[in-house]
Structure 1
């Protein structure tokens, strides 16, 4: 299973992750290209600004499923913790660097949530609850993502006690922090947009 998993499941996870929900949804609904309008990030938050709640919800669901489906599939096929972890990381990197969209993807918040929910519903719900709490208090999507991502490896370790899955969560967290470097600067100087603000 290991050889088959790494040669088929991991590449398939990357390809699924490469399907940009934001771009696809925007094209279907006749919205501006999120890669060239708004924050220029092909993610649910930018789609919310450009097209409203319905478009953003569809985008969010699509991005989450890209992370969830391959991880659950790897588990159902009897993959080891290492294979499940590699599958999740592959799906996540597919979103960040999509082969179908010139390797220019989103920041990976929703896809990482899908991956973590695939590891276990408890880890996914813990991260989601953290995001919702910080979003409710601060009304800043990027800040919510940064706090939730930073705590994700802690949740995975405490709930699952699996080194490979915890390492995968840490990789996701580091990449999310790096991809949000511009947001961090805006948060610090008070110019980061609030949730729902055009």
Structure 2
């Protein structure tokens, strides 16, 4: 049991470091020599990169951030699929998958390389969901897509997607630990968008294609 606990801790740490890779920050430094945290919303996520650096960098950051999350979960699934750690009970998979997902999301939003700052975990969260259950991930993306088509507001659509995840987890009969992850993760993503919510209420949140004045 002690060895299995150590393995679980190791999986969480690995997932955290995968998530902490500072994609948006590096894009700003490499492409324009800027600190993306000093522009727009101050986030290192794909939306702020899109607004600050353009569509192509924003799309690349979005893709890489999603891959980070998917990879963290996939590693756990591969371990159990190929029985790479025979001592791990099979029932642990239901718990280690959400654990890895949590590590990746925390790594992205609280990166050790960025003084524990980062993005708002939406892209990494999508990657996590697709790897956990492609049905849940695809359904969440659909909610986001419908919302962005109607509102043209990325943050509002991200919040709508985050709220919907729990519903999809239940509808697709995912394990209880995954449902708990969806609830807690959804609340976390919404909390990360607290300043966006304030701007939405005030009517000052920029729509897709519009820029946000620098926070610094």
Matched with 1:12 is 14
Displaced runs of 4 or more, over 4 A:
none
| Higher Cα Rg, which structure | 2
User: Conserved in 2, the CA contact under 8 Å of 1:81 and 1:162?
Assistant: yes
2:169 is paired with a residue whose SS is helix
CA deviation digits over 1:118-165, x for unaligned, max 9? Answer: 111111101111111100100000000000000101111211331001
User: Conserved in 2, the CA contact under 8 Å of 1:64 and 1:115?
Assistant: yes
1:118 is paired with a residue whose SS is helix
- Counterparts of 1:31 and 1:58, CA distance in 2: 17
Shift of 1:31: 5.1
Matched with 1:3 is 5
- Counterparts of 2:7 and 2:54, CA distance in 1: 39
Matched with 1:81 is 94
- Counterparts of 1:156 and 1:42, CA distance in 2: 28
TM-score, normalised to structure 2's length? 0.88
Q: Does 1:101 align with 2:114?
A: yes
Q: Does 1:152 align with 2:158?
A: no
Q: Tell me: CA distance 1:123–1:2, structure 2 relative to 1, closer, same or farther (3 Å).
A: farther
User: Conserved in 2, the CA contact under 8 Å of 1:31 and 1:50?
Assistant: no
TM-score, normalised to structure 1's length? 0.95
Matched with 1:44 is 46
Gaps in structure 1 of 5+ consecutive residues: none
Q: Does 1:180 align with 2:182?
A: no
